[in-house]
Structure 1
Amino acid sequence: MTAQPEITQRDLRNRSKEIMDAVQRGQSFTVTRDGHEIGELIPLRRRRRFVTRAEFTAMSRTAPDISLASFRADQDATAVQETDDPYAR
């Protein structure tokens, strides 16, 4: 694992666009103040929004079978079964 480059609080303030562009490209930084590490600036993980049909099919092959009767029983056990009229006062 490679060490993250250190940047001072002043560098972060003065070069924020340059540093944020680097973070957007995947670079991480350790932020220091008075020579002490105070935090990390790391890129967020991007969530995948699209799964191809082939990927979905491959994932589905290894999924466990679902028992419809057990699924229905779980729903019935957790659902609130109100027979009263909620609008009646």
Structure 2
Amino acid sequence: MGAQPEITQRDLRNRSKEIMDAVQRGQSFTVTRDGYRVGELIPLRRKRRFVSRDEFAAMSRSAPDISLDAFRADQDATADHEVDDPYAR
């Protein structure tokens, strides 16, 4: 990941729409005041979109079938079968 561009407090004030549009597109900035770094403007993570029950059902219909026996075999192959006593010293 490359370095974030630095912008001055004045640039932020004078070009706020342009800068905020860039942040919305995923760009990050380091904000400076009098030559010192004072903060960062970073995009928020996108919130997960709600998937309706009907949409989930439609996607599920085209999903491949899962073999329950193969699933259990995969779990058994990766699970730690040793029983640890959490109170053992």
- Output the TM-score relative to the length of structure 2: 0.57
Q: Which residue of 2 aligns with 1:25?
A: 25
User: 1:16 aligned to 2:54?
Assistant: no
Shift in Å at residue 25 of structure 1?
Answer: 0.3
Deviations 1:40-67 (A, max 9, x none): 000000111145444xx8xxx98xxxxx
Distance (Å, rounded) in 2 between the aligned partners of 1:38 and 1:47: 27
> Which 5+ residue runs of structure 1 have no aligned equivalent?
63-89
User: 1:5 aligned to 2:5?
Assistant: yes
- Output the TM-score relative to the length of structure 1: 0.57
Runs of 4+ in 1 over 3 A off after TM superposition: 50-54
Q: Which residue of 2 aligns with 1:65?
A: none
Alignment of 1:1-89 (within 5 A): 1-51=1-51, 52=56, 53-54=59-60
**Count of residue pairs the alignment pairs up:** 58
> Which 5+ residue runs of structure 2 have no aligned equivalent?
72-89
The percent of aligned pairs where both chains have the same amino acid is 81
